[in-house]
Chains A and B, each alone.
Chain A
Amino acid sequence: MALAKLKSDATQARLARLTMPDGLTAARKDALGRVAAMGLSHKRDEYWKYTDPMSLTQADPVPAAVFESDESPLFAGVDSVKIVFVDGVYDADASDDLSCAGVEIDRLVDVAGKDIHWATELYGTLETRGQVPVARPLAALNTAFATDGVVIRATGKAAKPISLVYLHGDDTSDVMLHCVVRVDAGADITLLETGPAAARFNSVLEVDVAEGGAFHHVRTQGRDHERRAVTHCFARIASEGRFKSFTLTANGTMTRNECIIEILGDDVVAHVAGACVGDGDDFHHDDTIFITHDGLRGESRQVFKKVLRNGAVGVFQGKILVKAGAQKTDGYQISQSLLLDDDSQFLAKPELEIYADDVICSHGSTTGAIDEDALFYMQSRGVPRKAATDLLTLAFLAEALEEIDNPALADDLYDRLDSWLARRS
């Protein structure tokens, strides 16, 4: 069957299950128009070659058993403004007061009623910009149908991190949340996201960083083995803005994390990093990054590390686009996988497209096994093979964790990775 027909059938089937929520109507209708025009993603699309989007686009989600974790909640020691969603439904009792010095926080569902102008204007705007040159229909679908989320405006230095906690309690939950963050000139904010959110989760985060603003993002996606997620982060960064995003993924059947960054001003720093650990042939993890340099002296870094075992599959697609005139750009990209056996697989597609002549851009991608010489050296000092393997694995992941500015957050994640490895024989 022709691809267009396949896509429109699948799209119609998906849309038939959805009802457009009230509020933000103009943006939602616009987005619906984009979805209809593009059609939902298909494995024949160029950027879905390595990841079959079927389970993310099909009408109903594949059920996912709720995972009972014996670990304490992540970042429990961090004083934050906690906002809890259970299967996408805001939990007022479990959430903190939505107030914090230096920040204005509201729920997405209140944007229309409270007439929050900046959020109304921004909602869907960065997502729309991010549709060119590569279509991201699942993000447009989210803009059209997201039921809730938060809108955050940092007006100064935020007194605390904002912590979004996504709990999963229903095997068949199918959730779309959409968050919008505006970092005013010179403001500074940290956003934490933790948890699986649903059996199937579609999340969009739009981040607009004004001159000299700083946005820090640290996220983990939950240990539920059967959960599926597609996430998009769209960022636009003005002069001297800083953007840093880190994602830890352990488990999950299907994860596609896209990050689309537009560097519009001069002297911008944008780093996006991730560590993922996967065990088993039902683990598929995909990082798809697109960074556009359209300002002078921009520095971007992509650092992605994956540890894969027992048939797990990791995908990395990373692009750096340097527009004409974006001189003195410094773009760096590294994607590496550590395969703990012969069954696992890493697929990487690094891309550079450069239209300026005075830039430094480098990219590298490696796939490797544990260094047997290092392993023997450690064993010969009395470290058992398993412990030595774990130490080497953590060392491999550490380079990605180093991208996190806040050492306390990084330590927490390091401990989680350590435990994840320790649970495996």
Chain B
Amino acid sequence: MLEIKGLEVKLQEEDKQILKGVNLSIGAGEVHAIMGPNGSGKSTTSYVLSGKDGYEVTGGSVTLDGVDVLEMEPEERAAAGLFLAFQYPVEIPGVGNMTFLRTAVNAQRKARGEDEMSAGEFLKVVREKAKALKIDADMLKRPVNVGFSGGEKKRNEILQMAMLEPKMCILDETDSGLDVDAMKLVAEGVNALRSEGRSFLVITHYQRLLDHIKPDVVHIMANGRIVKSGGPELALEVENNGYADILAEVA
């Protein structure tokens, strides 16, 4: 599904290398987790995958189902099935949450040559999915993420993901700032989307999210590289011993 080979990235404005050769291969239907200390390049990886400005790819490649995504505009990547649940979802004053969702769903459909979703159908689907995430009608009406609590923002990200039905979902610290109940809701939302054709890359600091979303592979990222990969037990090791041992071992 997603193939990242030797990805090297520097900041556009500064001479600062952030990713120093990231390799990652995620098969269809798999769930991979990336853990790692703050500043190791996890968010940067997710931004570069989704096409954010300000980064310069100096080496390597990224393909989604064999197609080079680095050449695509962010909206083209989205239409191709890539989705990023932001670590810090953006507030958009003046644009209603529902309007935004519908615009996004239909823009993707249009880009793929599919029919737009009718207003009635859209409303039905969105209500159903919002209910499962305990997102009420008021939150749907309000401007995107404006005045939302941290937990509400993260649930809203999952709602967008559920509506857009991407095939490659990247979740950047979706668990941070969530209490146990909110995390369960989010995990349930993610698990409901798990299927053979859909893959996940879950970026997290904590093992606890991985109790709910069971990964197939766990990667440790440090200083712009994936330094170790393993099974779910690797996450437990981090939980118990921190990163120090692992980093010392690979140094």
Contact = CB atoms under 8 A, between A and B. Distances in A.
B108 A382 contact: yes
B164 A398 contact: no
Contacts of B108: 381-382
A382 B94 contact: no
Interface string B16-60: 000000000000000000000000000000000011110000000
B92 interface: yes
A409 interface: no
A376 B52 contact: yes
A387 to B, nearest CB: 7
A377 B86 contact: yes
Nearest to B108: A382
B247 interface: no
A415 to B, nearest CB: 14
A372 interface: yes
Interface stretch (B61-69, B72-80, B180-188, B214-222): B72-80
Interface stretch (A180-188, A358-366, A388-396): A388-396
Nearest to B94: A395
A391 B107 CA distance: 13
A263 B143 CA distance: 35
A392 B95 contact: yes
B103 A387 contact: yes
B78 A380 contact: yes
A392 B143 CA distance: 11
A374 interface: yes
B164 A381 contact: yes
B111 A382 contact: yes
A233 B83 CA distance: 52
B160 A381 contact: yes
Nearest to B90: A377
Contacts of B94: 392, 394-396, 398-399
A283 B10 CA distance: 41
A385 B92 contact: no
Nearest to A395: B94
Contacts of A372: 53
Interface residues of B, number: 31
A378 B73 contact: no
A376 B74 contact: yes
A33 interface: no
Contact of B53 (A376, A377, A391, A399): A376
A378 B92 CA distance: 9
B93 interface: yes
B89 interface: yes
B84 interface: yes
A211 to B, nearest CB: 37
Given A392-B92, A395-B93, A395-B95, A380 B73 contact: no
B28 to A, nearest CB: 21
B23 to A, nearest CB: 24
A395 B146 CA distance: 13
Contacts of B74: 376, 379-380
A377 B92 contact: yes
Interface in B129-163: 143, 160
B104 interface: yes
Contacts of A384: 73, 75, 107, 111
B100 A378 contact: yes
Nearest to B89: A377
A382 B90 CA distance: 15
Contact of A380 (B84, B93, B103): B84
A383 interface: yes
A71 interface: no
Contacts of B84: 380
A147 to B, nearest CB: 42
A262 B173 CA distance: 56
A390 to B, nearest CB: 10
Interface string B86-117: 10011111110001100111011001000000
A392 B83 CA distance: 21
Contacts of A385: 73, 75
A121 interface: no
Contacts of A398: 94
B107 A387 contact: yes
A388 B95 CA distance: 10
Contacts of B90: 371, 373-374, 376-377
Contacts of B107: 381-384, 387
Contacts of B79: 382
A421 to B, nearest CB: 14
16 contacts: A372-B53, A377-B86, A379-B51, A379-B73, A380-B51, A382-B75, A382-B78, A384-B73, A384-B75, A384-B111, A387-B107, A391-B103, A395-B94, A395-B143, A396-B94, A399-B94
Task: List the 10 closest A-B pairs by CB distance, nearest first.
Answer: A395-B94, A382-B78, A382-B108, A379-B74, A381-B104, A377-B90, A379-B75, A382-B107, A395-B95, A374-B92
Interface of A: 371-374, 376-385, 387-388, 391-392, 394-396, 398-399
Given A377-B90, A381-B104, A381-B108, 13 more contacts: A371-B92, A378-B104, A379-B73, A379-B74, A380-B74, A381-B100, A381-B160, A382-B78, A384-B75, A384-B107, A384-B111, A395-B94, A396-B94
